[in-house]
Amino acid sequence: MRNGNLSIHSENILPIIKKWLYSEKDIFVRELVSNAADAIQKLSILHAKGEASAPHEPRIDISIDKEKKTLTFSDTGLGLDEEEAETFLAQIAFSGAEEFIKTYQLNDTFIGHFGLGFFSVFMVADHVEVLSRSYKPNKKAIIWKSDGSTSYTIDEGQREEVGTDIILHLSPDQEEYLEESTLSTILQRFCAFFPTAVYLHGKKINTHHALWQKRPSECTDADYKSFYTTLYPFEEPPLFWVHINVDYPFHVQGLLYFPRIRKEIELSKDHVKLFCNRVFVSDNAKDILPEYLVLLRGVLDSPDIPLNVSRSHLQVDSTVRQLAQHISKKVADALSALFKNDRPRFEACWDAYELVVKFGMLQDQKFYERANSLLIWKTASSHWKTTEELLQEKEGKKTIVYCEGGQERSSLVTAYTSKGIDVAVLTSPIDHPLMTKLEREEGIDFRRVDATLDTTLLDASKEKTVLDASGRTEGAKIADFFRTAIGDQSLTIDAKSLDIQSLPAVMTLAEEERRFRDYMTRVSGQPHALKPKASLIINTNSPLVQALYKVHTTHPKLAHDVALYIWDVTRLSHKEMSHDELQAFTDRSTRVVEELVCATARTEDKGPEKTV
């Protein structure tokens, strides 16, 4: 067996770096400013250790010379001597930041890591000059020159102050970077919250403070709202926010905002900005955020996130997944604190985080366990109640009665609320799978108002229980009459006395079958053919039913049509009528009204003295 070492030819690797390493040319601005910030930070550390003189004002200046077609990036950092220029500029993939961290055993707060950022300049420049003076005493200034090939020159330079100038001689097709407006826009994007002052032709770029770096106790509501406006200048103020400041086992800071939800909101739109040590990385933080938090907006900043070599994208690994769980926990903790300390505000802002809580409970079991007690439901009585507050004990089961959105003012729902039974209102398609999960996890029985007839809605004192000569009750005969009139052998019909006179009849639908039918309809987008098992309860306490039964022998045709009319109206109120049946209902309604009006007219013609 023979061992060998891989060899890399720099003349082959440099074109790859220039053409393929970076996803966009603008990144060279970020890389040069980041390197300058690291140089300034290193000098400050050395001064604190007594190894360097006090630094000049820490600042980075960018200037444009249109005549010479150059861009110059100047810093007041620790500078380079000839040996360091050989080490850090002439060696590809050798990171000065990594070397400095190891030498001084520091926490990693530097921006550079890969030793490749400097070479991004050759995406836009034909050749580059580096003029630098080291902080070390008795070291002469040097000038390093390269055209992006494998050769370079180093000579003595002219610079009085400690620091570095990087002078880019732009390629003819890259002169757009000589426009101050273009460069200002790029600097605002990457350096708006930079730790070191950045100036373009003497005008400071990074005028905004990184609010996420403050302690929550140091920030006011006005601070949070103002910062949100800085991030999203054309948006309405947020409803709620979460300030994240985690030191262990990861270091992550940030601000997550719950915006005012609009129906036309783009769920796929990138809302959370990703930073690394206050340097902008990406508009897309979806990999570090659980999917159910994509509606949020704001900033996340962490030196621990693994970036690709160009520092443009996140590399998903176990660290990222653990960070996502920590962020999820912080969001749940913040919502829990708001719920406990200011429930009226929690309820008022529910629209802002309803989808977050509900999606989170469905997608993440840990989030489910944290947020389960925060789930609130709008009730038909216009109050908000938690799942626990809605529970009723029915026949040894924990039951919650609910209705679909838009049905909260129906007679049946009103009957329930009049008996002191809170009815939860489902307002979103996501409520249905969430309801199923709660049933599975908590042993709750969710039952729609029309699933069964609750015994509390019955008035036993008015039941038609007296037997006639044939041994049948009036209630049984009323049920027989409707059974004959409707003529549907699959329909179960019964007659009971309800404690509400305005409802002539109530229809119930088997809960599981109806849910399956509704689920298939939502999935396919088309009405499903399945007909859930239905029952019709005729209300013997209804004046209409009583009058109808009284005339069913004297006016059989009218009674028959009115019975069908009651059946139609009952189905219509439950949205259980097909298009064809709706047309038949319209025709029958016209016929019933016509017959009733004509009968009234005939009575009027007879005169009061002949009226029976």
Host domain of residue 272? 211-344
pLDDT at residue 84, as a whole number: 86
- pLDDT > 90? residue 229: yes
The whole-chain average pLDDT of the chain stands at: 83
- pLDDT > 60? residue 307: no
The CA distances from residue 520 to 244, 517, 581, 583, in Å, are 41, 5, 22, 25
- pLDDT > 50? residue 538: yes
At 117, which CATH number? 3.30.565.10
What pLDDT, in 10s, does the model give residues 155-190? Answer: 999 998 999 999 999 999 999 999 999 999 999 998
Of 328, 344, 360, which closes a domain? 344
**Weakest mean pLDDT among 246-250, 417-421, 493-497, 499-503:** 246-250
Identify whether residues 177 and 226 lie together within a single domain: no
Is residue 236 in a domain?
Answer: yes
Beta strands of 532-596 (E only): which ranges? 534-539
For residues 585 and 573, is the Cβ–Cβ distance under 8 A?
no
Q: How far apart are the first and last CA of the chain?
A: 120
Which region, left, alpha or beta, applies to residue 95 given φ > 0 means left and ψ of -120 to 50 means alpha?
beta
Residue 535, strand partner residues: 492, 508
pLDDT at residue 120, as a whole number: 82
pLDDT at residue 170, as a whole number: 95
User: At 595, phi and psi to the nearest 5?
Assistant: -65, -40
DSSP 3-state assignment of 40?
A: helix
Identify whether residues 80 and 182 lie together within a single domain: yes
**Weakest mean pLDDT among 87-96, 150-159, 420-429, 524-533:** 87-96
- pLDDT > 50? residue 309: no
pLDDT at residue 352, as a whole number: 85
Identify whether residues 38 and 97 lie together within a single domain: yes
Identify whether residues 17 and 130 lie together within a single domain: yes
pLDDT at residue 15, as a whole number: 59
- pLDDT > 80? residue 300: yes
What's the CA gap between 161 and 77, in Å, rounded? 10
Identify whether residues 88 and 140 lie together within a single domain: yes
Identify whether residues 48 and 192 lie together within a single domain: yes
What's the CA gap between 103 and 105, in Å, rounded? 6
pLDDT at residue 96, as a whole number: 44
Interior CA angle at 536 toward 534 and 542, to 5°?
Answer: 160
- pLDDT > 50? residue 108: no
Identify whether residues 467 and 586 lie together within a single domain: yes
Q: Name the pTM for this structure.
A: 0.76
Q: How confident is the model at residue 95 (pLDDT cuts 50, 70, 90)?
A: very low
At 600, which CATH number? 1.20.120.790
pLDDT at residue 93, as a whole number: 44
Identify whether residues 15 and 155 lie together within a single domain: yes
What share of the chain in percent tops pLDDT 70? 84
Tell me which H or E stretch contains 506.
Answer: strand 505-509
Q: How confident is the model at residue 378 (pLDDT cuts 50, 70, 90)?
A: very high
Identify whether residues 50 and 121 lie together within a single domain: yes
Is residue 362 in a domain?
Answer: no
pLDDT at residue 306, as a whole number: 53
Sign of CA dihedral 453, 458, 463, 464: negative
More confident residue, 521 or 9: 521
Of 174, 204, 234, which closes a domain? 204
Q: How confident is the model at residue 111 (pLDDT cuts 50, 70, 90)?
A: very low
pLDDT at residue 455, as a whole number: 85
Of the segments 31-40, 93-102, 247-256, 569-578, which one has the largest average pLDDT value?
31-40
What's the CA gap between 464 and 525, in Å, rounded? 45
pLDDT at residue 611, as a whole number: 42
pLDDT at residue 109, as a whole number: 46
More confident residue, 349 or 521: 349
pLDDT at residue 468, as a whole number: 65
Is residue 33 in a domain?
Answer: yes
pLDDT at residue 371, as a whole number: 94
Residue in this structure with the two tokens 């176990």, named with its chain if needed: 318
Helices (H) and strands (E) in the chain, counts: 18, 22
pLDDT at residue 4, as a whole number: 55
- pLDDT > 80? residue 513: yes
Is residue 395 in a domain?
Answer: no
Is residue 418 in a domain?
Answer: no
For residues 183 and 62, is the Cβ–Cβ distance under 8 A?
yes
Is residue 466 in a domain?
Answer: yes
At 332, which CATH number? 3.30.230.80
Beta strands of 42-183 (E only): which ranges? 59-65, 70-75, 125-133, 142-146, 152-156, 163-170
- pLDDT > 60? residue 490: yes
What tokens does 208 get? 């905004």
**Average pLDDT for 301-323:** 60
Is residue 486 in a domain?
Answer: yes
- pLDDT > 70? residue 119: yes
Q: How confident is the model at residue 606 (pLDDT cuts 50, 70, 90)?
A: low
**Weakest mean pLDDT among 10-14, 178-182, 347-351:** 10-14
Q: How confident is the model at residue 311 (pLDDT cuts 50, 70, 90)?
A: very low
Is residue 404 in a domain?
Answer: no
What's the CA gap between 324 and 93, in Å, rounded? 30
The CA distances from residue 439 to 421, 454, 503, in Å, are 19, 20, 31
Identify whether residues 147 and 236 lie together within a single domain: no
**Average pLDDT for 319-345:** 89
pLDDT at residue 3, as a whole number: 64
Domain count, the chain: 3
Could you write out the DSSP letters of every residue in 234-294?
Answer: TSPPPSEEEEEEE-SSS-EEEEEEEPPP-TT--TTS--EEEEETTEEEES--TTTS-GGGT
Asked, as a colleague might, if the bond just before 249 is cis with ω within 30 of 0, I would say yes
pLDDT at residue 11, as a whole number: 56
pLDDT at residue 260, as a whole number: 80
Of 344, 364, 399, which closes a domain? 344
Q: What is the DSSP letter of 315?
A: P
pLDDT at residue 543, as a whole number: 93
Identify whether residues 598 and 460 lie together within a single domain: yes
Identify whether residues 183 and 315 lie together within a single domain: no
The CA distances from residue 508 to 433, 449, 533, in Å, are 22, 8, 8
User: At 24, phi and psi to the nearest 5?
Assistant: -150, 150
- pLDDT > 50? residue 268: no
DSSP 3-state assignment of 515?
A: helix
